[in-house]
Chains A and B, each alone.
Chain A
């Protein structure tokens, strides 16, 4: 995580959003279920042995029906984390749209990447539009997202 501040004047369309890599385990799913008051057992139950399956890197990845999946809301929260890590503490994510195209599973390293697609001034504030993708270990984009981030100005 970086605490450096990004300013509106320093951003242009086409700029890359700094990537984020996040290893997600089942404990995080359980904790998120608690925080979000979402008791849906499919998101956190303890019977999965996927971590055992993937402990051997040579073993084929077998996804089973009873493996827990990540909450969609959790993925949205990770997207915002990535954006604020990039933009700094003076930024604010005003709008987000996060789509859940493919199931995500714990015990995987998730990759977040993105780019700036637009910048404008809105009500005297500097605003940038970004596109973000979250991909699983196979490189499959599971969660495309768009966001509007308000950045501070130098002047």
Chain B
């Protein structure tokens, strides 16, 4: 078998509707409101004792924003693929698997965050817009890794864009018979 094969087919790629708005997601009201409790629990889970997350007076005096804000990585909690049940590339994965169904990729490959401003206590995240940006494959030692990059734009309840994030969702596929790399 020649070496010019690809796991990602044109038909599968069309299913991604790259660049188009494919889904909009909202969040549990308990989670979408940025509160003192969730900020503290976030910092505690990291064992991060930075007073920026705990002390209003310190944040006002020393912090860049003059008040307590949440860390930039907090935006990953509003990734609808991880925490909202969204699956904007489901049809793509189903096509690659060759059978109908609702599929997610295997696991997270990367996160990208481009914050416009930090979330402040009292902010409410309104919704996320999801767009598939790209897909690519990489031949590994044992498997072919297929990755879909999905953008999620985070908006507040007031429809202010606060972050443009992206999530790489990866799955592994076996080599086609006769193409496995030599050990």
- Cα-based distance from A84 to B72 in the complex (angstroms): 11
Size category of the binding interface on chain A:
35 or more
Within 8 Å by CB of B114, from A5, A79, A95, lies: A95
Interface residues of A in 79-96 (CB under 8 A from B): 79-81, 84-85, 88-96
Known: A72-B108, A93-B71, A96-B72. A22 touches B47 (CB 8 A): yes
Task: Indicate if the CB atoms of A3 and B62 lie closer than 8 Å.
Answer: yes
For A49, the chain B residues whose CB sits under 8 A away are none
Interface residues of B in 14-48 (CB under 8 A from A): 28, 31, 38, 41-42, 44-48
Known: A89-B62, A97-B111. A80 touches B71 (CB 8 A): yes
Task: Indicate if the CB atoms of A91 and B50 lie closer than 8 Å.
Answer: no
Task: Indicate if the CB atoms of B110 and A84 lie closer than 8 Å.
Answer: no
Task: Indicate if the CB atoms of A77 and B46 lie closer than 8 Å.
Answer: yes
CB distance from B51 to the nearest CB of A (A): 7
- Cα-based distance from A150 to B114 in the complex (angstroms): 13
A152 within 8 A of B: yes
Known: A31-B44, A76-B76, A77-B76. A92 touches B118 (CB 8 A): yes
B182 within 8 A of A: no
Known: A22-B47, A28-B45, A89-B63. A76 touches B83 (CB 8 A): no
Task: Indicate if the CB atoms of A72 and B111 lie closer than 8 Å.
Answer: yes
CB distance from A14 to the nearest CB of B (A): 24
Task: Indicate if the CB atoms of A95 and B45 lie closer than 8 Å.
Answer: no
Q: Which residue of B lies closest to A79 (CB)?
A: B73
Within 8 Å by CB of B50, from A34, A81, A90, A93, lies: A81
Among B48, B49, B62, the one with the most A-chain Cβ atoms within 10 Å of its Cβ is: B48
Size category of the binding interface on chain B:
35 or more
Task: Indicate if the CB atoms of B28 and A37 lie closer than 8 Å.
Answer: yes
CB distance from B154 to the nearest CB of A (A): 14
For B48, the chain A residues whose CB sits under 8 A away are 1, 81
Q: Which residue of A lies closest to B65 (CB)?
A: A92
CB distance from B57 to the nearest CB of A (A): 12
Known: A80-B72, A93-B72. A100 touches B109 (CB 8 A): yes
A120 within 8 A of B: no
Task: Indicate if the CB atoms of B64 and A100 lie closer than 8 Å.
Answer: no
Task: Indicate if the CB atoms of A97 and B73 lie closer than 8 Å.
Answer: no
Q: Which 8 A-B pairs have the closest CB atoms?
A: A31-B45, A72-B108, A89-B62, A73-B76, A77-B73, A99-B110, A93-B72, A80-B73
Interface residues of B, Cβ cutoff 8 Å to A: 28, 31, 38, 41-42, 44-52, 58-59, 62-65, 71-74, 76-77, 79, 82-83, 107-115, 118, 168
Interface contacts beyond A1-B49, A92-B64: sample of 10 additional A-B pairs, CB < 8 Å, sorted by A: A3-B62, A35-B45, A37-B28, A72-B76, A76-B76, A77-B46, A90-B63, A93-B73, A97-B112, A98-B112
Interface residues of A, Cβ cutoff 8 Å to B: 1, 3, 5, 22, 28, 31-32, 34-38, 72-74, 76-81, 84-85, 88-100, 150, 152
